[in-house]
Amino acid sequence: MRLSLDSFRAGLQPGTVYRVAFSGGLDSTVLLDLMQELRFLIPFELQAVHVHHGLLAEADGWSRHCAEVAGKYGIVLDTLRVDACPRPGESPEGAARTARYRAFEALLNPGDILLTAQHLDDQAETLLLQLMRGAGLPGLAAMPAVAPFGRGMLHRPLLRFSRREILEYARNKGLTWIEDPSNRDERYDRNFIRRRIMPQLATRWPAIAANLARSAGHCAEAAGLLDKQADTLAAAATPADDPASLDVIAVRALPPDEQRLLLRRWIKKRGLRAPSAKLLERIRWEILESSGEHAPAIAWADGDVRRYRQRLYLVPPATDFAPSWTSDWTGETLLRLPGGDSLVASLESGPGIDPARWRDGTITVRYRRQGDRIEPAGRLGHRELKKLFQEAGLPPWERNRQPIVCIDGRIAAIGGSRWLASEFAGPREQLNVVVHWDQTAVAGNGHRLS
């Protein structure tokens, strides 16, 4: 298929706001040029995003080049600086990719479409890489053309076109781009496959890239069907009173292959990478199948799987946390907590803090201290927080991280508005202040106080 404005437009995901991931290399330069041409034909908002990894001496020059190209087009360029240093056991390419996509994800607004410039040859190389790593169907499915991403969508509109077709377009348009010297370094697996393996395969099978990409599509279709099956299994094993957990008894009743299918999907839907097959088997035996009342746990780089009271929990990697942390809060703006969580307050119908007490008091936020007690709204008598948490079945690792909102030094609400103190609770027939504890700063359907 020849790359032209018409053939490109035919496969573009419809949208009103596009952000092009622009490295300044050949592929993203062509992608940005195509989008620039297209916006003269159909109306949409176009921006470019450049990630400065800071890993090579040329990085500053690449940023300047990208700014010049975007300026020539009259396009706004966001330059994002990231920390791309690899963690123990992580490859440099993997660390850079993770840092890059986290930066992209944070930038997207609801409805935005992030465009990246992977093409047909990239897809084929990815499939070979995954085969060399012994990947399962999700890995062999390689890269989808369209996928949910953060608050928006990720779209790869060049996946149907080869590297040769992209180069031909760039030369015909007289485009200029930068060459990353690391792309010639064959110590990196992808470069080795691109420079050594694929040319050899193409001498015998000229359509190798297209054929491998087609196989990736077949794997993606099969993986999608398995995901649907896993979602059905997960729905049957998810307790109604705790949708973040899995019922151990229900999962244990499944055959081993369905247990593995369910666990992988459950972990993936929580935004974490699945552990290795070996570690997944340990989770099955040591968490699911082990007996006793103790709380077993298995950790890997992306998180922990733990069991508590016959429920299975997925705990993200530990973040910096200071139990002695405290902060003043106006109650009118979002408050960031240690580790990235946040609190936000809104006026809503139903149970909550009396707005008059909220407005007239001094608000502070902290974590649990020894001897903390409240009289829960709707109940008689004070309770130690330890007893309150035990009664609610709150897992031990979550108890010290419950944010506590105080008014004039006295506890008003715990865990957002999960527990309210009776002395601060407002009448149910009025709008009350509800505190939401979240990582996405969503305040529900109420009215913001700000």
Each residue's pLDDT tens digit, 343-381? 999 999 989 999 999 999 999 999 999 889 999 998 888
Report in angstroms the alpha-carbon separations of 292 from 248, 259, 286, 390, 392: 13, 20, 11, 19, 21
Sign of CA dihedral 212, 218, 222, 223: positive
pTM of this prediction? 0.71
Work out the number of other CB atoms within 10 angstroms of the CB of residue 151: 14
The more confident residue out of 271 and 411 is 411
How large a percentage of the chain has pLDDT more than 70? 94
* Confidence check: pLDDT of 94 > 90: no
**DSSP 3-state of 151:** coil
Asked whether residue 409 is marked as a ligand-binding residue, the answer is no
Residue 404: pLDDT band by 50, 70, 90 thresholds? very high
- Order of all β-strands in the sheet with 17-21: 76-81, 45-52, 17-21, 113-115, 152-155, 146-149
- Rounded Cα distance between 99 and 142, Å, is 19
- Rounded Cα distance between 374 and 391, Å, is 14
Mean pLDDT of the chain: 89
Asked whether residue 224 is marked as a ligand-binding residue, the answer is no
Domains and CATH numbers, the chain: 5-217 (3.40.50.620), 238-315 (1.20.59.20), 326-443 (no CATH)
State residue 9's pLDDT score: 95
* Confidence check: pLDDT of 293 > 70: no
- Identify the bridge partners of residue 308 per DSSP, sorted by sequence position: 311
Taking the CA atoms of the chain, what radius of gyration do you get in angstroms? 26
Asked whether residue 360 is marked as a ligand-binding residue, the answer is no
Most confident option among 54-58, 193-197, 442-446 = 193-197
* Residues contacting residue 121 through CB under 8 Å, at least 6 positions apart: 162, 163, 194, 198, 209
Token representation of residue 200: 């050899």
State residue 300's pLDDT score: 82
Most confident option among 50-54, 292-296, 387-391 = 387-391
Alpha helices in 307-435 (DSSP H): 355-360, 385-391, 396-399
372: left (phi over 0), alpha (psi -120 to 50) or beta: beta
Residue 87: pLDDT band by 50, 70, 90 thresholds? low
Indicate the residue type of 343.
L
Asked whether residue 342 is marked as a ligand-binding residue, the answer is no
The more confident residue out of 315 and 124 is 124
Asked whether residue 27 is marked as a ligand-binding residue, the answer is yes
Asked whether residue 28 is marked as a ligand-binding residue, the answer is yes
How large a percentage of the chain has pLDDT more than 90? 63
State residue 90's pLDDT score: 64
